[in-house]
Amino acid sequence: MRQTTLTRKAVGAGLLALVLLAQASMAFIPGRMAVRTLFQPLKQHQASRVVLSMAEAIEIAMPALSSTMTEGKIVEWTAKVGDKIKAGQTIMVVESDKADMDVEAFEEGFLAKIVFGDGASAPVGATVALLAKSKEEIPAVQAMTPGASPATAPAAAPAPESSAPAGGGASLGVPTNEIAMPALSSTMTEGKIVEWTVKVGDKIKAGQTIMVVESDKADMDVEAFESGYVAAILAKAGEATPVGAPCALLVDNEADVEKVKAALASGASVGGGASAAPASPPPEAAAPPAAANAPSKPTFDFAEVAMPALSSTMTSGKIVAWTAKVGDSVKAGQTVMVVESDKADMDVEAFEGGVLASILTGEGDSAKVGDPVALLAAKKEDVPALQAYGQALKASLSGAPAPAPADSAAAAPAPAASTPVAATAASPPGERVVASGYAKKLASEAGVDLRSVPGTGLGGRVVGANVIAAAAGKPMAKPLGYRSPPGSATPLAKRLAAEAGLDLKSLKGTGEFGRVTADDVLIATGKKSPVKKQAAGGRTGPVKAPKPAPGPMPTGTKPMDGMMKAVAKNMEKTLDVPIFRVSRLITTDKFDKMYAEVKGQGVSVSALLAKAVAKTLERHPILNAAYDPAGAIKYNPDINIAMAVALDGGLITPTLRNANAMDLVSLGGKWRELVKKAQEKRLAPDEYTTGTFTISNLGMYGVSAFDAILPPGQGSILAIGGSIPTVVVRKDGSFAVQKQMTVTITCDHRHIYGADAAEFLRDLAELMEEDVESLLD
């Protein structure tokens, strides 16, 4: 969403001319939204004078819902002109090349104008609607033309007619198709080509991967939309290219490849008259007044480490930790900091190599997306000067005088000797693997564990050639069961270890997924004896140890982190939804027997429950549907089961997509992968925001029954209690002991009724009690 800022004030005739001149301007801030100013004068007669009032509007743009999306079709608007819109409210449903997705408003206001109606398509980034700041300004905003120049602005000269095809190539003598740098995220402005998977002269097909591009989020494969022969590669591997700029040229005939080569060698232009050589940069815009006292940039080579956009709505990020310190040598691809978004803590890598000379934003501080947070020097001897520049830059941003630069000669390391790139050792278990998108794809297809592959790319990155060599040389090792990364511990264990001065990474955890528990810390510090097994009645079992003494009670007010705030916001949204609950007992003897049989194949109870619920939802699509505020029911084509996972200081719901269509073993493996990512706080947005039905299971804590809160945007959530041995009376009057659990479903009563929920629970119970073998289908 782009904000169009229009201030309300009285202006004279001379100021009006300046306003109309400024109307045609467009400012762009790297990593942020484009900001365009549109002015709509409103005549108001006051005491025989004409006062010009400026209305304020906000542009709603067509978002990029996938990495290959270039335009989107508006399936429907869920709000109408005149409606009051809240930030976070769904305002339209857009059809991309992947799926229909709800699009939310980032700002509050009144829907004043719909530029593209239901069924219309718009390019990514195009304005599809306008919001007014107040209801009174709706008529003025309706009179605006989004993106248009004022009537007084001179018209642009018409482009000369050309008979060349749309793909360009008029100056090359043959028709060509351009392969452009795609927008891999809604905030991406440029992309770095990690590697080309094709070369000049190759014949390619539509849908074939041709290059791997590094965006602000990940390395992604880019496919060709057209078939043909690669005639020229305009952007080399390792180069950054603006979104939309041509990266390569395709021709229809193989014979035309040499013609394009010859034309480019003679200085011919590409596309609509642009030279094949990089265009000269536009003149720099005048610096804003706030930057008037900013220090002059050094003339030597250096690089800025900027705050990245970790999600499409992120405007600022908090630095959790710096993994490099001032004076360290940093390689391209090396993790330099950990940034907290509203969902997860994510590692941020350096795109350039150098020496970390200055940290502009410290741990615990926040910075706006696109703002520099650190400076890298290309050469050791430039470190002191770059540190002085960094201190002056921080002072100019804060308004404080720059402190005298500290002596940094000792901090700067000696330059490394120039040596050929050697393969790095394979990554040890628990450490993050850095690999190109192409290498990841090859590894997936060949069944190669990337952790066992030495990398020869930049910074030890695993590239495609490494995977090919590994696949040819040795078989894939079976993946190990998931264990938490070194140092993962419960909150109480962390506090006890800090008090004792103990390094958590030195301890072997005995908790779930290898997590360090409070008992592990107490045993390591000698405050508790290890649990021993002893013989008792011919059996051995653990001796129950006394519970550790509780820690000190927390006091005062503690700020919530980003994840806590996101959970709180979602919980508040549920207050406006009318809900009801239905409970039922389910006998789990056969289900438990099935779990014992598949447990050895890596299938957990959670995966088994997800499969059972997903198969039942096939017969009850209304429980998988969501209420549409426009007065409709939105049926989801896929059954995506989200399951709540508790984290330190938060909660997240990793999603098993198309759970009904996956086999049990695959489902179990996918769930282990999602849990691992959740605990390491590196889930991708589509791995926790695409759920259509949620399961919350507290049975492992001994909870007999509970009610769950309905997540926003879903129709149902199922709460699972513990399985408890219970004496029951059979139909023949005899007594028996059966294991039973209580399940409680919470539903949106606007489109789901009591009978719907009861029938769903009846069929779920029938499957788990009588037809559990169907889960193997």
Q: Which residues of 491-501 are buried (b: 16+ CB within 10 A; e: fewer)?
A: ebbbebbeeee
Reduced DSSP (H G I as helix, E B as strand, rest coil) percent helix, strand, coil of the chain, to 5? 25, 25, 50
The structure tokens 């910075």 sit at 367
The C-alpha atoms of residue 269 and residue 279 are separated, in whole angstroms, by: 11
Q: Are 348 and 308 in contact (CB under 8 A)?
A: yes
E strands present in 265-322:
269-270, 274-275, 302-306, 316-322
Judge whether 749 counts as a catalytic residue.
yes
Amino acid making up residue 644: A
DSSP secondary structure, 103-130, as one string? EE-SS-EEEEEESS-TT-EEETT-EEEE
Neighbours of 508 (CB within 10 A): 9
d(CA 327, CA 96): 46
Question: Which residues does residue 669 pair with via DSSP β-bridges, in sequence order?
Answer: none
Q: Exactly one of 45, 620, 749, 751 is catalytic; which is it?
A: 749
Contacts by 427-432, CB closer than 8 A, 24 or more apart: 427/451, 429/480, 429/483, 430/483, 430/484, 430/485, 430/486, 431/485, 432/335, 432/347
Q: With beta carbons less than 8 A apart as the criterion, state whether 611 and 776 touch.
A: no
| DSSP-assigned letter for residue 630 | T
Q: How far is CA 462 from its chain centroid?
A: 23
Structural tokens at position 718 = 């199922």
**Helix (H, G, I), strand (E, B), or coil: what is residue 465?**
helix
Strand residue runs (E) in 394-511:
none
- Please classify residue 188 by burial: count the beta carbons closer than 10 Å to its beta carbon, then call 0-12 exposed, 13-18 middle and 19+ buried: buried
CA 565 to chain centre: 17
Instruction: Using DSSP, state whether 603 is helix, strand or coil.
Output: coil
CB-based contact 366:316 (threshold 8 Å): yes
Q: Which amino acid type is present at position 554? A: P
Count other Cβ atoms within 10 Å, centred on residue 94: 22
Say which residue the tokens 């193989």 belong to: 254
Question: Alpha helices of 25-115 — where are they, by DSSP H?
Answer: none
Sign, Cα dihedral of 161, 162, 166, 167: negative
Q: How far apart are CA 632 and CA 78, in angstroms?
A: 10
- How many CB atoms are closer than 10 A to CB 727? 8
620: Cβ–Cβ under 8 A, 6 or more apart, which residues?
756, 759, 760, 763
* Contact (CB, 8 A) for 3 and 35: yes
CB 744 within 8 A of CB 566: no
Among candidate residues 715, 754, 746, the one with its CA nearest the CA of residue 632:
715
Hey, which residues are catalytic here? 749
